[in-house]
A and B are shown apart, each in its own frame.
Chain A
Amino acid sequence: MNLFAIFSEALGALRQNRLRTGLTMLGMIIGVAAVVLMLSIGQGARTKITETIAAMGSNLFIVVPGATSSGGFSFGSGSVRTLTINDAYSIADLASVSATAPVTSGTVQLNYAAKNWSTIITGTTPDYFIVGNWKMESGTIFTDSDIRSAARVVVLGAITAKNLFGEEDPVGKTIRITNRPFLVVGVLMAKGQSLTGRDQDDNIFIPITTSERQITGNPFPGSIRYMLVQGKSAEDMDIAEIEITQLLRQRHRIGKGKENDFTVRNLTAIADVATDAAKIMSIVLGAIASVSLLVGGIGIMNIMLVSVTERTREIGIRMAIGANQRAILTQFLLEAMMICIMGGLLGLLIGISGAWVISQVADMLIVITLGMVGLAFLFASAVGIFFGFYPAKKAASLKPVDALRYE
């Protein structure tokens, strides 16, 4: 039996009924295109979230001052400034912690030449940029000696730099922050939105000491708004959390049974939730798309069954002149598989172009991997074999005498 010859017989049969072949193929095209599109959207979302999390910095805790209450009223988290710079420094010495960054913040008006801009000012230490995984566009960050001397130096976020300087290089220039001159030492690389959708690039950073003494002022000297803490390793995040809590309770002299006056939040755990959500989303999208592939497969089975019935006499003739069951089975299976594979290839093309269009129009990140393409293709072939086998088997097991007599 010559497989190539049977292949061309199958191709000939498909050509004889172009419209039907095309319509059956359409089921496959839509199915595969949908799967590719949905997988690429899902994968895009996951990649985006992974990037955002990487930009946020790894193994992060945020420690915020705790709630206070008075006369039965709770004032909410941060209503009392119980955390200090020294708390941050002592946490940095813990074995399970690699760095901490105390943060104060406020809103300020900036001037450079004739332009002015209002933005968020963050007073912090150099570790902030390490903990937050910030990268420099140009210049450097401020140093520990700047902290000690409360120097008037500033690092600009990407958006702020662009709004204030346009195409000009800000490094070495002097801007005015609430009318005090500050030397720009560096510009940060853009990070985009945070997981919560906040713009992370419209801001400026100055030494925490400078901020406290000269810009925002502070009714409780040494207190901070919050601090970022970076754990040494992802495995020891639980230990780090316990150590931070114990240390702060000790430093704040909180007796047994009393509530914490601060809150330690694991940002990595929040990131994990986002990652899981994206994963579930891509699974759900893929599953929905697979249904259309399944429907396409059932369509193929349906048409192949009709085709076998219609061509009963042809099958009888082929058997009479010497086709064995395997030859008949192979031909009908090849017909189903060709529909699937050609439909699969077209669907792949449409899916990929669709994904490209979406990425352009909706400005979404779309990721197409070779594995995805392979999966869709494999799936299409599997559908062909699975749904093509029964009709082909039916054709092959016809009795020659009955098939020949069929009108």
Chain B
Amino acid sequence: MAMNISAEPLIRIEHLGKSYSLQDAYGHTITNPVLFDVNLSIRYGEFVAIMGQSGSGKSTLMNILGCLDTPSEGSYWLAGEDISTLSNDQLAHIRNQRIGFVFQGFNLLKRMTALDNVAMPLLYAGIHRAQSRKRALELLCRTGLEKFSQHQPNQLSGGQQQRVAISRALINNPPLILADEPTGNLDSQTSQEIMQLFQKLNQEQGMTIVLVTHEDDIAAYAKRLIILKDGRVIVDKNNS
């Protein structure tokens, strides 16, 4: 794919809208709009925090950014590629190669070791098992979990689990990390540690990080702040 990194932003969203259709008790279709006319451009290497009250549409926006959901209106280009034209398989490939997810609830697979959890995306990338384990172990070392590689998620603390999840997000070297309230289930001390890890990834490796949170001190780590209200962007500013 030919693209000019300097010219094309990593994420470009134009007039994006999302609404959900529901059937009411009488069988009428009710359209419930969640996002209106969102325009957004995120360059490579940015660290963005998205804030907003619950119901503001920030999770929906994250799902669309992560190619887990599709917009109802408008366009979304990820690394120069028009997402709306892609098939389900191509979207899966994008999620595998270009995006690393970090969730509030960690979303690790139970009864599977930390190592296997981290290596999982490589399974779907078609990479050989021995090689993928080696890479997974390297990442666990980087996040300081080499001693816990054979532990299952329920044997790890919340902070450790989130580090495993971050390692998993990083394993395919994606340009984009999407973190949906990554500290929501953690105490403040651990939250700070996790945020420092994100900050390090952004500063040292130039990773683009988009973070959803509703805590100001967490959002303070980001360089740019976007605030959503009732499905619209109301604030988009440098965070200093």
Contact = CB atoms under 8 A, between A and B. Distances in A.
Interface of A: 1-2, 5-6, 9, 12, 16, 313-314, 316-327, 399-401, 404
Contact of B68 (A313, A314, A320, A325): A320
B21 interface: no
B30 interface: no
Interface in B32-85: 63, 66, 68-69
A400 B124 contact: no
Interface-central residue, B88, B107, B108, B124, by most chain A CB under 10 Å = B124
Contact of B88 (A322, A324, A401): A324
B126 A399 contact: no
B-side interface size class: 20 to 34
Contacts of B124: 1, 318, 321-324, 327
A212 to B, nearest CB: 90
Interface in B183-215: none
A322 B125 contact: yes
22 contacts: A1-B124, A1-B126, A2-B123, A5-B129, A9-B123, A12-B112, A318-B120, A319-B92, A319-B95, A320-B95, A320-B101, A320-B107, A321-B121, A321-B168, A322-B92, A322-B93, A322-B125, A324-B93, A325-B88, A326-B89, A327-B124, A404-B68
B96 interface: yes
**For the complex of A and B, 9 pairs with smallest distance between CB atoms:** A322-B96, A324-B92, A322-B124, A401-B69, A400-B68, A401-B68, A321-B121, A324-B89, A317-B107
B35 to A, nearest CB: 14
A292 B111 CA distance: 34
Interface in B155-193: 168, 172
A321 B88 contact: no
A319 B92 CA distance: 7
Contacts of B141: none
Given A2-B123, A404-B68, A322 B112 contact: no
A318 B63 CA distance: 15
Nearest to B120: A321
B234 interface: no
A16 B111 contact: yes
Given A2-B123, A401-B63, A321 B95 contact: yes
B87 to A, nearest CB: 9
Contacts of A319: 68, 92, 95
Contacts of B111: 16
B89 A325 contact: yes
B95 A404 contact: no
A321 B96 contact: yes
Interface-central residue, A16, A322, A400, by most chain B CB under 10 Å = A322
Given A2-B126, A399-B69, A322 B95 contact: yes
Contacts of B101: 320-321
Interface in B101-124: 101, 103, 107-109, 111-112, 120-121, 123-124
Given A2-B126, A2-B127, A318-B124, 5 more contacts: A2-B128, A316-B107, A320-B95, A321-B101, A399-B69
A317 B109 contact: yes
Contacts of A320: 66, 68, 95, 101, 107
Interface string B132-168: 0000000000000000000000000000000000001
A325 B109 contact: no
Contact of B123 (A5, A316, A317, A400): A5
A331 B138 CA distance: 28
Nearest to A17: B111
Nearest to B116: A12
Given A5-B129, A404-B107, A322 B121 contact: yes
Contacts of B89: 324-326
B105 to A, nearest CB: 9
B85 to A, nearest CB: 17
Contacts of A325: 88-89, 92
A365 to B, nearest CB: 50
A313 B96 CA distance: 17
Contacts of B69: 399-401
Contacts of B103: 404
A316 B96 CA distance: 13
A314 B112 CA distance: 12
B89 to A, nearest CB: 5
B15 to A, nearest CB: 21
Interface string B206-228: 00000000000000000000000
